[in-house]
Structure 1
């Protein structure tokens, strides 16, 4: 075994036991979650957005992540539920006046306060460093500490005055149980919004069908009086023309009887009698039909056809 130089090995050097679980530094974990983006792991810079699970992101990083549609895109677990910019909300943060920035201790020769934060609660004044729970409102994006929301209970935002409900309050950087609860609420909201959209679409189609039916009914009702009016006008015109013709016949008969059976030639046509051409009657005589080559008289029988006559255009 060696033991050169008179060294005596100990038991833990000879027997390997179970490995110790590495414990994560709590201060480092808080700094990583509250001061760095959940996608790029870069320091948070305004504008800062948060998802419905309470994670913090840089807005430009989220836009780059959504625009990347290449097959080589790495899907990050912390942003897998983000499909568009509607899934995140831009936060309305309150700056900390005592914050000097992270570039003060560039040499590393000064004390660095890990509990300092760039943002605070506008109501209580607590620093947003992860030691205290913070939340934001889903409608307006204003950020407050959980202590302020519990101590000053109200249905209106403390900063902008916009009304909100209890379901609109989303906790930032919660634990596993709180994130699971937020995910369940997020899925319920999405399902409810989807059903509401379908209901609105069906109502819109029903209203369009009803309006079309009412227009058809209104159009038919307006057309019926017009049709009846035209029919009555035609009847009245026909009655007037027939009565005019009858009066003309009576006047002609009376005039012939008065002149001894000889009818006088009228200078003007009697009103009510219209002249129509021979072609407008629809009945044509045989003499008129015989003018055309399609008439039976223009076609001769085979017995009447001499063999030596050449065919002309009027043969058939």
Structure 2
């Protein structure tokens, strides 16, 4: 048996009013999860204890002052305790205090990963309204982490057991997305995704590139030639460089074929083109990977679920898979 230690993964608690504390407790109760990595929660110990009480479990939740103080034992959860939340924080409600705390958890984890003190980051969901109320006007984790790490351009990849999807554009309006898409951005996005899939163990990924219009424009019948102008040049250049990129493809067909196992990665042109099929195919075990950062970051593929926060009804399946992916990517890095 190898004596090489498993990677250190920082788990950010997300918005403390949401289901983040519950899914973290649930995930860390899974021995298969803790056998893959050495998890350290960046959050609030009091809130985690409240979540454990709701779930009816009793792990030893131990605050630590630094990651170097962590001791990894069965039934122990190490918490880098920022102590930012009041004990009476309501569940399921937008809170400026919780938004600020969520930002500080991510900032702390980013600094730990950038300095090499942890090997990767796995994030529980934050609430955008709460984040903005606290004065941090980022669309989400992807853009926030890009800012914190000084990264000019990153991509969002969603991963499920059957389909991996990377997005050319994400949190912008549809008209703005179409205007933003251009061959260079498409090419860079595909290259980032192809590298990530190779890092996961697939030597030559098969990549399907979606069109923008219905039927990928159907030879100019739909749209104004966006596929020929914005996508075709990128696919030709990628193929010339030996990357197995095919398209532009009708998005409905591309996802059908990917679910059947014919593609290792689908390139979506805009947010809902990629998110809709993924959430239908596997939101419970879906994982969000930020591609292009100088640090490894994965996340659950769901939101704060304020409607069920604090009830014990949240499933930890996506968090379990997100931790597994963070550990895998960290090991292969």
TM-score range, shorter chain: under 0.3
| Higher-RCO chain (CA-CA 8 Å, sequence separation at least 6) | 2
Higher strand share: 2
Instruction: Decide which structure has the larger Cα Rg and report it.
Output: 1
Task: Return the TM-score normalized by structure 1.
Answer: 0.20
